[in-house]
Structure 1
Amino acid sequence: MKLLIDLGNTRLKWALWGQGRRSMGGVFAHADTSLEAALSNNWTALPKPEAILVASVVKSTLEQELTRLLESHFEQTAEFVRSPAQALGIRNAYAEPERLGVDRFLGMAALHAAAPRAQILVSCGTALTLDALTAEGQHLGGLIAPSPTLMRRSLGTATARIGEHAGELVEIADNTADAAWSGCLLSSVALIERFRQQVAQRIGTPVAVVGDGGGFDEWIALLPDVERGRDLVLRGLALWSERGHR
């Protein structure tokens, strides 16, 4: 069994992978507790894995903390996967390939392995990321923006009277809470739609859109033709564990 870890800015997701399938896994918000306490609660009874693979987008100090905890708990050193120029059927568009978030690379790899087609991966966590991929596995590039949740948090921090109060989705708001809530959400939807149009125009073919991440459910109703992806980073890590850089 291999232990796969997706370490995001807000949450840590993990799974045990062996013989081509996932046997167990979990998720927790590491920002809400200490990493040590969360891992102790989740992994006390886990057997020692034959390998540990980590996809991380967090700062190096948190990676170092995770490394120490894994070595202490399992007596094993984790492999932190970084985005390569080419692997798993994906050709990275970045001139400095390692600067592409590895979560984005692995998510695209999982999508391409499941269905090689022209498609866009939209991941909504702390950030909203969009990546375009051809049917041949060529990454065309992408965009990064704040997620609706992060936009609202920024408004609440930077403005005196808006705050982070929950509102309702309306097209034209007559109160501040609804105006902020709807504006942040609809701006994300507009960005996704514009990106899809630009990619389709560039490659001359319709483009599928697949969404994943903790913030996905908030905007999916506004884009009913978007497909639901699940655990794409972990699925990409599983591919990496089986194929490596191939």
Structure 2
Amino acid sequence: MILVLDVGNTNIVIGIYDDNDLVSVWRLSTDSKRTADEYGIQVIELFKKNNLNPLDIKGAIISSVVPNIMYSLEHMIIKYFKVMPIVVGPGVKTGINVKYDNPREVGADRIVNAVAAHEIYKRAAIIIDFGTATTFCALTAKGNYLGGTICPGVQISSDALFERAAKLPRVELVKPKNIICKNTVTSIQAGIVYGYVGQVEYIINKMKEEMMECGEEEPFVVATGGLAKLINEESGSIDIIDPILTLTGLRIIYYKNREYVLK
């Protein structure tokens, strides 16, 4: 079995793969102040509750957009699982050709998602990840990562409105029935949700135009992340939601690099 960790600004998603089968998924809060032992105790306890044996872990891989948490996580894996983790970054084989001005600037999570989309769908794709930030990535059929767009996430937008406008309340992120609303709470909900849907659809359409101008067929749109379902309920531009896209990408990258780890 292998251990895969997707480290985001808000959460760490942990997956356990038995060959190609995802057997468990857990979510922890991202906290760079926690030590390797604190994370180790948490993860080992999750193993016990799911009747999994830590000694069955033969490899591990981490994708992170939070650099200052990496020391704790890497040492947690080494100490509690006795394996050296692969860290997604420069020098790791992905099969993706990054066309960014500076490839080192591309977030590891974006590359991991691109790897999964390329392996699964084998066609031009737009990949949307609804996380703390929402990222849009353009990928050609040949696996060239062209670049993309980064926007404040839905929750960040909602929190900013609450924090900067004294009389506006914090609201739950749900879709109201109407766009013309009769009270402040639903008015805010409509503005955030429907406004975000409009943003998503506009960016998708513009990215499709630019990619097709470069000779690609109309891209397939795949979305992942916690709020993908909420946006997709109103948007007609997303072709599929894949909630484990990033974990799948981590599994694929692990096996592309396993030979180097086992040497």
Give the AA of the match of 2:15. Answer: A
Task: Output the TM-score relative to the length of structure 2.
Answer: 0.82
Give the AA of the match of 1:94. Answer: Y
Q: Does residue 1:69 correspond to 2:76, yes or no?
A: yes
CA distance in 2, matches of 1:14, 1:87: 21
* Contact persistence 1:125–1:213 (CA under 8 A): yes
Equivalent residue, structure 1, for 2:156? 150
Q: 1:181 to 1:93 in 2, by over 3 A?
A: farther
Equivalent residue, structure 2, for 1:80? 87
Give the AA of the match of 1:160. Answer: A
CA distance in 1, matches of 2:99, 2:61: 24
* Contact persistence 2:204–2:237 (CA under 8 A): no
Partner-residue secondary structure (3-state), 2:143 = coil
Equivalent residue, structure 1, for 2:261? none
* Contact persistence 1:117–1:135 (CA under 8 A): yes
Equivalent residue, structure 2, for 1:219? 231
User: Does 129-138 or 31-40 show the bigger shift?
Assistant: 31-40
Among 111, 116, 120, the residue aligned to 1:114: 120
Among 44, 47, 53, the residue aligned to 2:61: 53
Unaligned stretches of 5+ in structure 2? Answer: 259-263
Give the AA of the match of 1:148. Answer: V
User: 1:145-192: per-residue Cα shift (whole Å, max 9, x none)?
Assistant: 112111111111222111312365332333322222222222322222
Number of aligned residue pairs:
243
Equivalent residue, structure 2, for 1:141? 147
Q: 1:59 to 1:173 in 2, by over 3 A?
A: farther
Q: 1:72 to 1:244 in 2, by over 3 A?
A: closer
CA distance in 1, matches of 2:245, 2:251: 10
Q: Does residue 1:43 correspond to 2:56, yes or no?
A: no
Q: 1:177 to 1:83 in 2, by over 3 A?
A: farther
CA distance in 2, matches of 1:116, 1:244: 20
For residue 87 of structure 1, report the CA deviation from its aligned partner.
4.8
Give the AA of the match of 2:257. Answer: G
Q: 1:188 to 1:135 in 2, by over 3 A?
A: same
Among 164, 175, 190, the residue aligned to 2:170: 164
Equivalent residue, structure 1, for 2:8? 8
For residue 31 of structure 1, report the CA deviation from its aligned partner.
4.5
CA distance in 2, matches of 1:63, 1:55: 10
User: 1:9-39: per-residue Cα shift (whole Å, max 9, x none)?
Assistant: 22222223343x1252222231499652532
Task: Output the TM-score relative to the length of structure 1.
Answer: 0.87
Q: Does residue 1:201 correspond to 2:209, yes or no?
A: yes
Q: Does residue 1:130 correspond to 2:136, yes or no?
A: yes
User: Does 126-135 or 27-36 show the bigger shift?
Assistant: 27-36
Partner-residue secondary structure (3-state), 1:222 = coil
Q: 1:176 to 1:233 in 2, by over 3 A?
A: same
Give the AA of the match of 2:156. Answer: L
Q: 1:31 to 1:163 in 2, by over 3 A?
A: farther
Q: CA RMSD in A?
A: 2.6
